[in-house]
Structures are given as C-alpha cells and as structure tokens.
Structure 1
C-alpha cells in the first residue's frame, strides 16, 4: 500500500473497530457543585434494532458486457464523488517465488499508463482527496474522492490503467517501485514487535497455505520480480470481469451508466481468476514459541485460526472477542489491568478475511510481574470466559458500540472505510453489496448462548502461544514473509540483462477537462453562552444521527512548563478512572451501553475532552461526560495503576524509532520554552515517578476550569435542544476565585543550530531522520497561506519535491514529508525521512539540496503552482465531509484567531497568491540552514556516512527498557 490503511478485512470492520476501541483517557475541571448520582443519566439507550435500521446505503447495480460490475450510491450532501475500485486479487493469489507481487503491482499502477504519464498529478490538481491504493490478502483496491466536475477525468484515468497500462511500465519504474516497497517493508519491520505478524502466520498455517506468506512478501521474491512477471500478473488478473467499481456521492445511476460505458466499455474481458482454497487450520497440538525483540515489555499472545467472513459463526466470534479484549470494560481489562494489575495493556480481536480469520488475545505484562504468574492469570481469564460465556449486558454493550461506529462510518462516501468500500466489499466477498446489513442484523440478534457456543467451538482447539520477549533482535525481516520453503526452493535472481519483448502501442485517448467545481459551503455556525460564561459553538449537520463535541481548555502539554512534565497528560488520563460516584469499569460500561465514546486529547496549547454520541442518547452521554470532568476521584489505587501504565507507555514510546526521534528533536530545538514538552504528554521517567494524586488534583483545579473552557459541537442537534442539556450538565459549574494561569508561550527559543544528533539503535534496517528548527511565526500571520503552499511544494504532499526525489526517483524511502506546526506560539518546521540504513548520509544531502534549490535554482513550476493552488481549491469540499473534520476546523480557527468564514474565503486567498509569493515564503522559512538533524539508526552503519556532511555530530545511546536496566 502506498499509505497504509486500516489493516482489517472490511470497510465495515474498519469503521467499527476504530469507533469501538478504548477511548483515550480524559480530563476536566474543578467543581463545587454536588456530584450527581450515578443513576441520574440512566435514560434508556436506543434499542439495537433502532440502531440497525439507521444503517442504510441504498444502491443500484449494473454489469457491462465485459463483466465490469458497477454499483452506484447517491449522497448529495457535498459536490463530490468517491471512485472505488476493488480488483478481486490479493496476496493469497500469489504462487511460490512471487510473494509480495500483488502489492508491488499496486505501486506500479500509480506510475502512469499509455495516455496518463503520472496518475497522481492530474487527480491532485483536480482536487482528489485521497488518491490511494492498498493490497491485502483478498483484494487490491484503489480509491479517490473527486469534485463532481472531475468525475470524467477520474474514470478516464482508471480505465486507461485498467486497459492500457503495460506500454508505460518500464524496467526503470519496476526497479524504483521495488525499492520503495522494500523500504515500506523495512519501515514496518523496524518497529517494536514489528516481526510478530510473520511468526503468527508461520505458526498457524502450513507452508503453501494462501494466507501464510505476508502481503508485502519476502525481499528475495521482490528482488526476483521481472518485467515479464509484471505483464503476466496484469493480463492474468486485471481484467474488468475481475473488478467492482463503486461510484458514491453526488451521482446517480442514470448519469453514471453512460459514463462507465464510455470509459470502460471497450476494455476486453480477461481470464477469470481461479478460486483459492484457504480455510482455517486446526493445529494437531498446542505450540509455544518465544521470539526476542528490542521491546520494553514482555508481550504474551494466544492465537488460533477462525472461519472467514461469510461463516455463520463469525458475527459471534467478532462480538465474543470484543467482549474478551476489545471493550474498555473487557474481561481482560477488568481482570488483568484494573483488577490484578498484572498487565499494562490487553486486547483481543477476530481479524476477519474472506476465507479465514485470526483470533488473537494479547497481554503486555507489567514490568516486575513474574512471567509465570502473568501467563497463569492470562489463561485463566480465557478459561473462565469459555466456561461462563458473556452476560446479556456485555453482549448489548459490545453490539451497541460497534453499531454506533458503523453509523459514524456512513459520513464518508469514499476512502478505505466509507460507503463505497462497504458496498464494494459486500459484492467482492459475499456477492451482495448490502451484506453489511446481514452482518449487523446477525450481531444484533446474538445471545450469550450463541456467543459462548462459537467461542467454545473455536477457542478450545490447540492454541499457538507466540510471545515477544525483551532482548536483542535475532531475526531479520529481510528473511521473513515468504513462502516458507525458500531453503529448498530459492527464488531465482532476476536477470539484469533480460529484455521483455516490445509491446504494440496503445490507442490514443484524450483526458477530459475538469468541469467547474462548486464553491465550498461551510456549515452555518451558531453561538451561545452558558450561565457560567462558557462559550458554545454549534454547526448543525444532519447526515448521520450522531454528533461530536469538544471541550477545550487553555492548558495543553505546554502547561507542564509550570508544573511537572507529564502532569497534564496523566491528569487527563485519570478522568476516566473513576469519579466520586462511578468506578472506571462503570464509566466504560455506561459509554458502551449508550454507544458513546468519551476521551481526551492533548496538544501543546489545549487539553480537550471529546464526546462522540448518538443523537438519541445525547442527554445521558452529556451527563456522563460532565461527571468525569467535574467530579474525578483521583483515588490512590487508580492513580498507582495508571501511573504504572504511563511508565510502560513511555518505555514503549522510547523503543519506537520515530517517537524517540520526535521527543529528541522537540527538546533540542525548543530548549527551555514550554513547547519543549513532549507531544505525547508523557513527560520523562523521573518526572512520572515523582507525580502523586495530590499533583493530579492540583493540576485539575488549576487548569480545568470554566473560565478556560470552550465547547464546540458538530452534528445532528439544534441549539434549542443542545443548550438546555449543556446548562444542565455544566451551567452550575463555578470558576475558582483565583485568576486563571497563563503559559509563557512568548518565551525565547534557542538560536537555530545546524548539527546532527545520532541515537544508536543497533540492528535497525532503516534510519529515521527527523530534522527541524523553530520559525519566527506565531498564530495567524499574512505569511500563513503562502507558507502552506510552499510546504506543499517541497514536502507537504505525495507529489512534493522531497518525496518524488527520495521515494519515487531514488527508492530509498517509503515516504518523505515536511510540515509546519500551527500552535499559538512559535512554530516548528519539521522534515521526516525514514530511509534505508545504507542511504542515511546521502538522504540528508538530498534533503539539504532539494530545500536549498527552492526557489534559488529551481523556482516554482507552472505545474506545481496549479497543483498546490487550484488543486487545493478544488479539494476544499472534500475536506469537510465528516463532523469531526468540521469540528477540527472550527476549533483551529478559534485557536489561531481566524475569522469564522476563513475556509469559505480560502479559495480566493489561494488564487491571489502567485509563484513569487510562494517562492518568497520558501526562501524565508523553508531553507535547510540551522536545521537540527536527529537520526535514530545503527551507529556502525550510519556514522561513517555522516562524516563528510560538514555538521557537528553528537552520538547518544538509545534509552534502555525496564527489562534491560
């Protein structure tokens, strides 16, 4: 995949899992009002059948004579159309010696076709967001969401690469994309626990099973791929009869059919793809295996295969595993994290594919806990659960949480988990675009007995215990992911002199012009003020019966500059750990019954409590949110447990090369400024160890107060309905008599210092390069928009100069990007480049050269100007499809002091910016002088490459985990 999507089988599952996962812990403020009784919010939640009835995606379907299946769904809420194509081929169709080939081919699909030199440039210039693709075991998909006026262009381009790709696929393109894919593999392998998936499949499935080898494949097979292989794969699998096309959004079937016939009708049928036999496998006996890795804590897992998507047991297994370890109040959480406090995190899930699933339960053991004790408790939770089965309340809570997530997923017409993908997957996997309805109805009808029976049937089979133990990594991802019998059947090396025969020219086709794109209509904004002075902002949107709310406090991680590092994050996390009337388990269970999700979100400037709620359950959801904010208990026992979890999370963070680089860079460039606080909110080991419950109460009283609060709501509610509910929940909350604290964000920052900090992380197949410097910019400035466009040119999007150079041309990285942060105080320019270890020095040279060239030796081209201005303008309607995206925009405008109509005027602002102003912004803010480079990689490989860069080098050791100290 070019940019990895959620790695689950279905779009439905993706939406459900994203919405049903444990909420991030949250915070809120001091209250002198009496705590409400726990029963005060006990309004009856919406019935499951009512929730199921609200999940509906009407569609029409037609099939062309060449076999192309087209599904059309009409949604007129925005002038955009999602184009979703599912090719019914994935890694399970790959033969021995060709692992990773479906995914490699997906990358090649973006390199242009006979009449489209580059697939990304025209679409991004037309305002497509996103333009992407991904490969998984059962399918390869391609998605773009375009303005309605660009639909013909998107269909022309998709049809040209479906019917006329091969003349444009050259050996040079194959070699470059092979390098990109291999760096994508290295990037994944380089993460903590990054080799787990390889060993899971190896232990559960026999050699030759279609789901055994990884989708990204083995390095040897990728090296062996030839241009002839590429052509064969295309002709064997990419015919229109193996494709489902979904058009969803501002379109109807009457308009769609002639367009599809025009662009796709002339493509001939291809061979039918042979069905693959790939069912679940039962091990003959239990198996246990340990692998060592550079990780901070022991991870225990238990694994089985399970039936596929269409098996009648699958809904029960999905809900049953969610109860075991997916809910915030899951069995594993309640007994191992909150109960015996043996684990710092747990999970359980059924990862479902078309023909099988992987059942997994996982436990990250709390440092200091004996392994034998942890394993005994872990296995006992499962044994007790299989014996007892779930309760009626657990079943209802799990199903409600998942249904709430699916309702929220209906906001998007496209992408990897929107309505287009849901319809496509129903057709591809089940022969029915509306298969999601059967899934939801089956889940709503589940009983404790049916779930217990399914769990007993599948989890009582021999288990594969795969455990990741802290220690030196002894395995290399380069040797993993293949067929499994490479010793007996090595992949033949590609012949560098082999020549594929020439192909006849493809027919000439002309791209249609982009029609005028409708102007952005940002939702109308209403304002109110609660009795205690809290300002309320509402944008009403009725596309789905849900809403999102944010309560922002002027605090954030920068507030830790006045307290102890890590205070704000831990205090926020404590909010869901208990109030004066509710325990953490009761809080989690009540959210699940309501289909609500309460969490917290920290940034440099703000501490935020968020709520996602069904409109029908808004009143009790608000009451629960208010209790968390106004009446946190900060109990000693809860604090001790949560602090231990935070300390383990910090250790996990420090074991991630990218996170370690980010924390190091922030501290280096901001010095003693409040923004030097880590953006993960975890502080440092010493500060975390010193924190107490009294510190939590003090920070809560100091920062979470109504005179530092703002409430923003977006969704299906009127102000007449909303304000009385907010008054009831928060209106009596009184501010302390003391003046609110003020963060010194106007403090000085250190002078920029060009240097390299090398952090030695042995056995790293990639180096993570992070570079940055503080810019002399704060808040909203006249340079804001020219700088945004200049950043897009140099590194801010897929077609940026840095990404095209280091990823697409050189093949050294899976992706390079630049960003400019937008806090209220001084901003940070940042460059991110994970690169293969042996190209670290060369990549830094390329970064410096590319940044220096803009605009001095390589000014903005006409193509770049059109893409970053007109493309951005055309993309505006796509950017506010969801309630969450509108909520973010409103809050950002308020934080930066922008006018409310900022986004509606943005098109005119962009059109008034020429190449000269963009170049001036690049010259002023985006030059490489003064960049501090942080490199996390293998010193023995990397340091010799840095010697001739002309920059001072400081070498540090990577932090040790708790098991290593």
Structure 2
C-alpha cells in the first residue's frame, strides 16, 4: 500500500495486542458453567437464503483498446467508487527486480504529464479514500468520489495510465524508493516482523513467483533505475491489462461515454505473459527456529495450497475457519481454553490466484514446556485432518462467513467494497460473479467435502517455524528477495544515469467538479426504556443487518478509581461465561446467529457492541443481555483471561509504537485519570494483584443502567426494536449505591519540553511520539478551526508533516498528527516512525514544520480549499456504513453536540477563514513544550538527540515480558 491511513497510525500509537481469536471455555473444561436451560435459538435464515441476499448486479463493456469496464448502480449515496485493477503484481517480477511492482505503485501517485499531483485535486474534490496497493497477483488503485467529481477521477486515472512516464524523474524515483524502504523497515521492526519472509522461504523454492515478498529486498530496491520504470510501465500498464469498475451513483448508459472519452485514445499495450506457478508439496517436514525480540514463543505450521479457482478453495476456507477462525475453533477449544497451553492461536488461508498460503500458529503460554506445546498443537491438527468437522461446525462457519460477506455490501468502493469484489472476479477468474459462485459453493458444503479438502492439503508435510524470545538473529534488510543472493551477486547499484527524455504527452485539461450533493444524515429517533436507559435509532435499510452499542460512562479512565487494567479485563471476561452458558456455548450461539458481540473500551467509555442479522435480532439481544447481566467470573476462566492479558501486555511492551503510547500518557497526565495506559492493559503488578472479586465489584460499580446509553443503526424500526430491548433489558435496575464519578477535573502537570529515550537495541526504525495537553476539553464548543489547523499540519497524506518527512525527504512511511476527542482534557500528538539514522533530523523537521504555521508559512489557498471545501465534499462518503453512522451518533452524544452536527458542518467550515485556522495553530499546535517519546536503538539515536537542546532521559525497554516456553 502506498500510504498508511491516518486512522491506522492513530491505532498504531494507541494499543497493539496479540492477534487471537475470542478466548472462551469449552464444554466440560475446568470452570465451565452448567448446561443452558434452553438451547441457543437457530439462525432464522438458512445459508442458501443468506447467499440469495448477496447480489451485485452489473453491466460490462470492453473498449477497442481492451479496457474492461464494469458498472454497478447503487443510489443510496451521491458517490461513485472508482476501482482499477492492473493485472500485474510481485509474481511478475524477474530476478533482481523484487519489490518493483510495489515501488511503481508508489510512483503512480507522483503525477503525470497533465496532473502534477494526484492527491491534491482528488482530495480537493472530496475523494476518500484515495489509495493503492500491491499484492502477488495485482496492483489496484481506489478512490470514492462525489458523483460530481467522477469525470475528474476518470481524467486523472486515464492520464496516469496514458501519460505518466514523461513526468517520472530520478528525484521522484529516489524519494519513493526511500519511502518504500521505510515501509519495509516499519514492518520488519515489529515483533514477529520477519515471520512472513521465513514462511515464504520455507514453502517455495528459489525462483517460484510467490516466494519473494511483495515489498522486495533492499538491494533490489536500491538497484531500480529510470530505465526499469519505463520498461515496467510499457510491459504491464496498457489498458488491455486493466479492469475498471464504477460502482455507486452511476449507470452503464452514463458511464460508457465517459470511459470512452477519457480512456479510448490510449493505445493497447503488449499482452502480459502468464506466470507459471503452482502449490509446492514438501518432500518431508521442514523445521526452522528464529530468535527475535518477542514476548512469547510462537509456533507455526504452514503449507502451500490451491489457488482461488481450484474446486477445493471454498472447502479449505471453511475448514481453516473451523480450525482456528471461529471463536469456538478447534485450536481455541483445545489449546487456549482446554489444556491452557497457549495464550493465542490464529489460522489464516491467504488465497491468491494460483496458490494459497495456509497457516496455523500457536503463541505458547509462558512456563509451558515447548515439547508439550508442540505435541498438543500437532495432535489437534492431525485429529482435524483425520476426522474433519461436524455438521454443526460447518453450519456455524458458513453462517458467520456469509454474515461477513453481507457486511461488505455496505461499501461501493475502497479495497473491500462491491467494486473490488467485481474487479477481482473479472481479473482472477474472468467472471465478475465469481463471488456468488464461491458463496453458493460454501453454502452447499458438507462435512465430508470439507474433510476431503483438509486431508488433501493439510495432510502433506508442513513447514514448521518457531520464533523464540531473544536477540534478533536475522536481518530483515537481507530478506524478502529472490533467494539465491548468497550464491549469486546482487544487482549493481543504480548508476543514476538518466535515460533520454521522452516526447511530451498530449496536453489535456482537468474537467471541473460539478456541484456535489450535501450530506443527508439518517433521521434520528429516540425513546427511553422502562428502566430509564435512553435509546437512539437511525434506520438504514441498505443491508439486512444492524449494529447496536451499549455504552457506559466508564472507560479506562475509570481505573483511576479501581486498579489499572480493571475495565479491560472485566469487559473481556463478559464472554468467558455466564450463569447458564459457558464460553464455548456463547461463541457457538453467536456463530449460529451470524452475530458478533464485542466488548471494549476507550478512555471515556466501556462498550458492548453487537452486529446482528435483522432477522435474528431477538435471540441476539437475549444472548447479549445474558453476557452483560449475568457474567460468572469463574476462577479458572479468570486465570486464563488474566494470562492472556499479561501476554498482551508483554506484546505491547515489545511493540515500539504501543510502548511509546503507553509511556506518553503517564508522562503527560501524572495523577489524572487519563494517565491510565491507553491500551487498557494496566501494568504487570496490577494484573498480578487482580482477583475475580475485583472484576465482580467493577462490574457492579460501572455496568449499570443509569450509566448506560443504547444506540442502534440499521435495518429495524423503532416499533420492532423497543419491545425487544424491553424484553432483554427492561427488568435491569440500577443499584442503590450512587453512581461513580470519574475525577476528570484533576489537575495535570505543566507541559515541559523534554525527550524520553527508550532504548530498544537493533531497531532499524525509531518511533517518535510527541504530545502536549491542551487547555480544552472534548465538550469545549467551537473546536472546528483547531481541527482544520491540524488537517493542514499533520492529519492527512497532503499534510505538511507527511509531505515533508515522507514525500520530500523519504525518511518515513507516514507521519501523522492528531487532536484527541476525549471528554476531558484533550491532547495534540505527533506520530513519526522514521529510519533510525534520521531520528534527530526528523524531530528537528517536525519542530520547524509545526512552528512555521502561521507566521513563516501561512495557510495557502490550496490547503484552505482542501481542508474546507474538500472536506465538505467528502462528507457523504464518510457515512456509507452503519458502523460509521453509529460512531458519529455516539460521539455527538458523548461530546454534547447537536444531533445535526454533521449536517451543519459544511456551513460551519465555510464560516472559518484561513486567518482563523492560522490563529488556532498559533494557539494550540506550536511545538515548544511537547514531550517527546523516542523508542529506538540508543547507540545510534542518542548522539542525534543531543544537538536538539532538549533534556534527555534514557530508559531501558521493559524487561517484564510474559516469559518464554521452556
């Protein structure tokens, strides 16, 4: 992907935890609850009926130059998803050119003959997202634009398809090379960050098209030349190698003349030769061990499997889902909840056009003997291969997977919406309706069919990888390439000889953006349950599903009145068992219903969030009420859940961005409730001190109806919803004790400019996280000028920080600033993962860029248009899904904003001029008293920081990890 989204950078800073399926207890396991009085209600709809609801009608036409266009009409919002799939990916790369397809994808955003920068006009027109990605089989580019900006998007996509090369310079190539290499460093710098390289090396021989990584090797990236760029473009980027999908507020009769106008004159390119690639069967099991800076030992078993057009692919997807994807999966039941040998298990089926990569992993519980863990792991796999799944397992896996597919119908564009679904069918299978054939095949699966596929593919020798805690023994910079570098010299570095200039491309002008329809936010209905809980409903009928949240005025800040980590662990325990259901029964009930019930928290709010098929709302609410009102907090379940939380804490302390985020909160807030770790995991000492009684007390104290609010968005009426809520929750009464109140008015320390350097040896990148408390709270009205100022400084791909440090200097894969919207004191933060040798320079650049606004560099006309009119045009795109609408409603309620806040936002933005934006930056976004957290290699980083004139405190990285297997 050519850019990291802003939300992902914020999430990276907040809290990264171990990847695991839900952790619940099996029937008959220690601590299991009694059998339920009544069995879970079955799904109201059969798999076949659910498949019938998944439909994406379309029309298709092909231009004389070979461009295939697919059009899907969806009038629910005035937006069009523009999706282009180029049938070229990393599998097409020859030796010495690994990573080139991805590098070229980055260059594709750098401007063409008639468009200096693709992001500026698209974001100014309201496009969101505007992005691209590369994988083994394809390169894609996506934007979702207001209907009035469709011609602009088509003009720009056609110009970079037909007139890109004259604008590609050596300077652009060098800068994007640096960005991509920092993307590689960022991935390599994570715990277990080298695992994918090792698995590919183990599964495929040298020269296999799926062996080398999509991001490639550092040596090959260094060797890429302008001549390579031109050859790659000419060989792969002709219109006959492209599928264009237009989905949303458009029809084929309107689309065809537009596509002919913008793309019709582009000449065909050469036909791309097919790549020979097939699954590989190992002659015998292969084992490898790697040491890495990880909190717990990770064991994995991997196989290559069939491509997505193979008849076994649907059965394997369901088989792998049963093995480790379901909350009640075989591996979870046996290893996490049953024998309690693992703190997490995961299974993935990475299905590509010609092969798949099948993985099962086990994170070994600290203190468990490795041989015991491996024996149990392999036994579960062997038993599943021999016996196959039960009828109930197949049905639950099918219903849960189909429910997820229905969710995808909410989006017209993006990386996983309806546009991408149609494009992938055409690109990989020559059939846009391939998704429907796959779902029909999944719905028709039997246990025998799944068992046969699992036996065929997982019954072969496995590649066994063990990643054990210790100093990292591998160098990610040397991994990801062709694989014969030890025996064959690497390509010579690019001599930077500039090829002769190309003939200029024909001049074309960008079309204007037609008037863009304003945001139509769903109507809000309100009621109150008999026990006083307020209910808000926004009805939307695009898909037969809904989302519901029950939010409590608690959150991680509530731990200030208890023990750090209490809310997070208490909420996690809600799914570990009730008085009438054990954890496995809870998980299975959700799967039968096609529902998901998730618990979690932010600083301010503790939540139970439900996704449900509308037809199954009544039994889903009954299940939700049981979890919320009758948690068991059984001692064996508590011990297991606490162990998993301790492992998550160790993972967070091993992950640079998560460690920086945990550190910054405490440094800024002192004794304020917001000093609690933002991941909600508490500390090693606080987790060790907890008991089931601690959690029972917190549950009674905080999860009470007089602290609750219910919000629902989706396909249900208030007349249907309220009786069901009354039935499930109406008898719930508040306790006699007064409601707890979080002391959010606690004084905070005075801001002070300083650096806290956390020494993490062998880090190819440094994570920089800076912050300061603002003299504002989330309920302070009139913050829009500040938010627009932050958009100029660091919130977006075109922000000053990102354009400078990523796009101009090439020191980072992405830099971001944000202003929190907590209920209490707000914080401005800057996140910058940068190459280690540029840590000090990056801090210096951040300080210069932030201080330049407004005095040295006022808000430009282009910036002003982007953050105001561009943001206004983008508003209809932001509320395409039920979840997005729900989050907006919940945020408005929490911050005391009117329910029509987003409808009025366009008028608000138009009333703010550039001077007010600059004044807000001058008041709130200056860098003078930021606290800087730097997680990196002290030996390399500290000398760079000493010239910044700031006090430096050096600390070791935490050593209290979860431990290792024996």
**TM-score class normalised by the smaller sequence:** over 0.9
SS for the counterpart of 1:757 is: strand
Answering whether residue 428 of structure 2 is matched by residue 429 of structure 1, we say: yes
Deviations 1:562-608 (A, max 9, x none): 00000000000000000000000000000000000000120011000
8 Å CA contact 1:48, 1:444 repeated in 2:
yes
8 Å CA contact 1:24, 1:599 repeated in 2:
no
**Distance of aligned partners of 1:240 and 1:141 in 2 relative to their CA distance in 1, 3 Å threshold:** same
8 Å CA contact 2:112, 2:168 repeated in 1:
yes
Deviations 1:188-235 (A, max 9, x none): 000000000000000100000000000000000000000010011001
8 Å CA contact 2:669, 2:675 repeated in 1:
yes
**Distance of aligned partners of 1:479 and 1:21 in 2 relative to their CA distance in 1, 3 Å threshold:** closer
8 Å CA contact 2:112, 2:160 repeated in 1:
yes
**Distance apart, 1:964 and its partner CA:** 7.2
Residue in 1 aligned with 2:886? 887
8 Å CA contact 2:23, 2:641 repeated in 1:
no
8 Å CA contact 2:81, 2:412 repeated in 1:
yes
Map 1:220-369 to 2 at 5 A: 220-369=219-368
8 Å CA contact 1:206, 1:212 repeated in 2:
yes
**TM-score normalised by length of structure 1:** 0.97
Residue in 2 aligned with 1:729? 728
Residue in 1 aligned with 2:524? 525
Q: Which moved more, 1:781-790 or 1:835-844?
A: 781-790
Residue in 2 aligned with 1:635? 634
Unmatched tracts of structure 1, length 5 or more? 7-19, 27-34
8 Å CA contact 1:24, 1:600 repeated in 2:
no
Residue in 2 aligned with 1:177? 176
SS for the counterpart of 2:776 is: coil
Residue in 2 aligned with 1:404? 403
8 Å CA contact 1:783, 1:921 repeated in 2:
no
Residue in 1 aligned with 2:465? 466
Residue in 1 aligned with 2:167? 168
SS for the counterpart of 1:856 is: coil
Q: Distance in 2 between matches of 1:495 and 1:635?
A: 63
Deviations 1:665-684 (A, max 9, x none): 01100111000111111000
SS for the counterpart of 1:344 is: strand
Q: Distance in 1 between matches of 2:488 and 2:219?
A: 11
8 Å CA contact 1:855, 1:919 repeated in 2:
yes
Residue in 2 aligned with 1:12? none
Q: Distance in 1 between matches of 2:585 and 2:810?
A: 51
Q: Distance in 1 between matches of 2:367 and 2:571?
A: 26
Please give the root-mean-square deviation of Cα atoms over the aligned residues, in Å.
1.5
**Distance of aligned partners of 1:671 and 1:91 in 2 relative to their CA distance in 1, 3 Å threshold:** same
**Distance of aligned partners of 1:648 and 1:608 in 2 relative to their CA distance in 1, 3 Å threshold:** same
Deviations 1:641-685 (A, max 9, x none): 100010011001110000000000011001110001111110000
Residue in 2 aligned with 1:853? 852
Aligned residue pair count: 944
Map 1:490-501 to 2 at 5 A: 490-501=489-500
Q: Distance in 2 between matches of 1:868 and 1:635?
A: 52
Q: Distance in 2 between matches of 1:779 and 1:808?
A: 32
8 Å CA contact 2:66, 2:239 repeated in 1:
yes
Residue in 2 aligned with 1:959? 958
Unmatched tracts of structure 2, length 5 or more? 7-18, 26-33
Residue in 1 aligned with 2:701? 702
Residue in 2 aligned with 1:680? 679
Residue in 2 aligned with 1:79? 78
**Distance apart, 1:38 and its partner CA:** 4.5
Residue in 2 aligned with 1:940? 939
Residue in 2 aligned with 1:560? 559
8 Å CA contact 2:547, 2:609 repeated in 1:
yes
Residue in 1 aligned with 2:96? 97
Answering whether residue 875 of structure 2 is matched by residue 876 of structure 1, we say: yes
Q: Distance in 2 between matches of 1:367 and 1:661?
A: 24
Residue in 2 aligned with 1:606? 605
Deviations 1:750-772 (A, max 9, x none): 10010000000000000000000
**Distance apart, 1:497 and its partner CA:** 4.5
Q: Which moved more, 1:782-791 or 1:120-129?
A: 782-791
**Distance apart, 1:463 and its partner CA:** 1.1
Q: Distance in 1 between matches of 2:306 and 2:24?
A: 34
Residue in 2 aligned with 1:692? 691
Q: Distance in 2 between matches of 1:397 and 1:798?
A: 41
SS for the counterpart of 2:336 is: helix
Q: Distance in 2 between matches of 1:186 and 1:601?
A: 31
Residue in 2 aligned with 1:128? 127
Q: Distance in 1 between matches of 2:539 and 2:189?
A: 44
SS for the counterpart of 1:834 is: strand
**Distance apart, 1:41 and its partner CA:** 5.2
8 Å CA contact 2:24, 2:327 repeated in 1:
no
Residue in 2 aligned with 1:719? 718
Q: Distance in 1 between matches of 2:518 and 2:410?
A: 20
SS for the counterpart of 1:39 is: coil
8 Å CA contact 2:35, 2:581 repeated in 1:
no
Q: Distance in 2 between matches of 1:40 and 1:767?
A: 53
8 Å CA contact 1:300, 1:467 repeated in 2:
yes
Residue in 2 aligned with 1:927? 926
8 Å CA contact 1:25, 1:600 repeated in 2:
no
**Distance apart, 1:546 and its partner CA:** 0.2
Q: Distance in 1 between matches of 2:375 and 2:494?
A: 54
Q: Which moved more, 1:496-505 or 1:765-774?
A: 496-505
SS for the counterpart of 1:401 is: helix
SS for the counterpart of 1:796 is: coil
**Distance of aligned partners of 1:25 and 1:931 in 2 relative to their CA distance in 1, 3 Å threshold:** farther
**Distance apart, 1:348 and its partner CA:** 1.4
Answering whether residue 742 of structure 2 is matched by residue 743 of structure 1, we say: yes
Q: Distance in 2 between matches of 1:535 and 1:432?
A: 48
SS for the counterpart of 1:552 is: strand
**Distance apart, 1:138 and its partner CA:** 0.1
**Distance apart, 1:354 and its partner CA:** 0.3
Residue in 1 aligned with 2:185? 186
SS for the counterpart of 2:854 is: helix
Residue in 2 aligned with 1:829? 828
Residue in 2 aligned with 1:2? 2
SS for the counterpart of 2:309 is: coil
Q: Distance in 2 between matches of 1:46 and 1:622?
A: 17
**Distance of aligned partners of 1:607 and 1:24 in 2 relative to their CA distance in 1, 3 Å threshold:** farther
Q: Distance in 1 between matches of 2:384 and 2:408?
A: 31
8 Å CA contact 2:98, 2:217 repeated in 1:
yes
**Distance apart, 1:490 and its partner CA:** 2.6
Q: Distance in 2 between matches of 1:429 and 1:286?
A: 31
**Distance apart, 1:781 and its partner CA:** 2.9
**Distance apart, 1:498 and its partner CA:** 1.1
Deviations 1:149-191 (A, max 9, x none): 0000000000000000001000000000000000000000000
SS for the counterpart of 1:316 is: helix
Map 1:378-527 to 2 at 5 A: 378-527=377-526
SS for the counterpart of 1:315 is: helix
Q: Distance in 2 between matches of 1:167 and 1:23?
A: 52
Q: Distance in 1 between matches of 2:964 and 2:549?
A: 41
Deviations 1:829-880 (A, max 9, x none): 1000000000000000000000000101100000000000000000000000
**TM-score normalised by length of structure 2:** 0.97
Q: Distance in 1 between matches of 2:384 and 2:964?
A: 35
Residue in 1 aligned with 2:16? none
Q: Distance in 2 between matches of 1:722 and 1:783?
A: 35
**Distance apart, 1:780 and its partner CA:** 3.3
**Distance apart, 1:146 and its partner CA:** 0.2
SS for the counterpart of 1:776 is: strand
Residue in 1 aligned with 2:15? none
**Distance of aligned partners of 1:21 and 1:346 in 2 relative to their CA distance in 1, 3 Å threshold:** closer
Q: Distance in 1 between matches of 2:42 and 2:378?
A: 37
**Distance apart, 1:43 and its partner CA:** 5.0
Q: Distance in 1 between matches of 2:964 and 2:668?
A: 29
